Structure 1
């Protein structure tokens, strides 16, 4: 049996006995639905009247970009949790329900590598695998051990930043200053920004439950950098890192990373996930210097109408590169007004 969005209590009981991350939870569904006004479906398969597997999915509709299903949009990771042998049932259900009017299903790589579909499961389920990104994950042990494995230049940068600035956890009172810096960074990156309401929801729904936090480094009383991460099930996943180039020489970004890492160690977290990265990007070397381990991060596609793996959001796509260059030159207010609607249509 397959059921969409069964009672929260059933889902929470199932999650207590299986490895998963925050995007599998009803709480995260609330966060995304509140932020993007979408229908975040937790599709569950059942064995003997109990949930055996769960796949979070959102349908993204756009006249320009087409209609598709994504697990999970607006985040770096996705995929199912539970018994992998029931995944074909879930995919068959999706195929039958969305065969008309939907181009494809994208299942993003899991934050838990063992939950990614195996090659045999891909073949059985007609999933196409795409390798576009890698990820850096830092295993956490003692503070001394982690510090020892950080590259010497990075340790020196942390010490320099400790003399120049102060790092602390941000609160809603810091939101205006944080969001202004965030907008400036997103334009510089050439990427549409989230709305301020997204971060208000983060504080109200996620942070208050202890499932996320934002660290910020202040220099001369000004916010010089900030780092947002989800903190769930003994894993920290960093999703947003911003900084003011004016203070780059003081290395505020290194200080906030180290503060977040030490917090995670003190609270017995097992890993600090720097998030996805492209091998040719500047972030690749930055994340490597922290002693993090490079891991594969494949995505999986199930054709519904189209037979080709989409390339619209592939960083190697020339149209994607052109869109970045155009966005970098738009007025800041325009990016704020249009960013969230574009993200919603792209599912990014």
Structure 2
């Protein structure tokens, strides 16, 4: 298909394939995750493995009268999505459509959990956690930067890890990231094991440099996106997003 469609490359992310059977694919390690072991079912063991500064952030959050609850309706999901839109514009990135999240919500049922943090009636943090077999996959964190000093994100993630431990899950995965970034440092502070993803690539013609969202050539596009009206990013963002591969 790649040859017929004349694409520049095919990327299989985080897959383990037999390169002896498919020698045209080359392996490259570009992303890592951190996997937190939960096997003994004791949240105290997980707590003690956290970086001391992370435990301090969680303690701070507990003093700030934050309310944690799970989304129970499409209206809750829409509130999460509004905060997601804010974050994507801040990062200069086109967003997924609301329909994308709505389909996750409807199709995955109990295997998807949307957690919310509220402060004085305002939604200030949210996250999506996907559960499969014995693993929880943390994905889709959003936050209101105006309230970042309240440490709601740390409290929300810890609450989810604590619940997964008590519910008998064996691993909590923090999702893929690039080594050396700020997000990488945040995830490292949770005491998990660093795990590399094996990505496989096929180049129909000459090998090219794979796209990197941190490349300077995207700075102008990010700046333009950040200046757009919020309503415009909601409308034109999803059609752009589904055609981006970074």
> Taking structure 2 as the reference length, what is the TM-score of the superposition?
0.89
Give the structure 2 partner of residue 149 of structure 1: 49
- Given candidates 81, 84, 99, the residue that maps to 1:182 is 84
Assess, with a 3 A threshold, how the Cα gap between structure 1 residues 105 and 185 changes in structure 2: closer, same or farther: same
Does structure 1 conserve the Cα–Cα contact (< 8 Å) formed by 2:112 and 2:130? yes
8 Å contact kept, 1:136–1:277: no
Gaps of 5+ in 1: 1-96, 111-115
Which residue of structure 1 lines up, in the alignment, with residue 3 of structure 2? 99
CA distance in 2, matches of 1:156, 1:122: 49
The one-character-per-residue Cα deviations of 1:228-254 (angstroms, maximum 9, x if unpaired) are: 121111111122001011211110001
1:236 corresponds to which residue?
A: 136
CA contact (8 A) 1:301 1:309 kept: no
Residue in structure 1 matching 2:217, options 296, 319, 336: 319
* 1:308 is aligned to 2:213: no
Q: Residue 254 of structure 1 is aligned with which of 154, 160, 172?
A: 154
Paired with 1:211 and 1:125, the residues of 2 have a C-alpha distance of 36
Tell me the equivalent position of 1:332: 230
Contact 1:128 1:309 survives alignment (8 Å): no
**Residue from 46, 63, 67 that aligns with 1:166:** 67
Match of residue 57 from structure 1: none
Q: Does 1:196 align with 2:94?
A: no
Q: Which has the higher contact order (CA 8 A, sep 6+)?
A: 2
Contact 2:2 2:10 (8 Å CA) reproduced? no
Work out the CA distance in 2 between the residues paired with 1:284 and 1:145: 22
CA–CA distance in 1 between the matches of 2:169 and 2:51? Answer: 21
Q: CA distance change for structure 1 residues 345 and 166 in 2, over 3 Å: closer, same or farther?
A: same
Q: CA deviation at 1:98?
A: 4.6
Q: Secondary structure at the match of 1:346?
A: coil
Aligned partners of 1:252, 1:294: CA distance in 2, in Å?
A: 24
Q: Give the CA RMSD over aligned residues.
A: 2.0
Work out the CA distance in 2 between the residues paired with 1:138 and 1:131. 20
Which segments of 5 or more consecutive residues in structure 2 lack a partner in the other structure?
A: none
Query: Which structure shows the higher strand fraction?
Result: 1
Cα deviations by residue, 1:150-171 (Å, 9 ceiling, x for unpaired): 1111112112212220111112
Q: How many residues align?
A: 241
Alignment of 1:266 onto 2:166: yes
Question: 2:77, 2:114 within 8 Å by CA — same for their partners in 1?
Answer: no
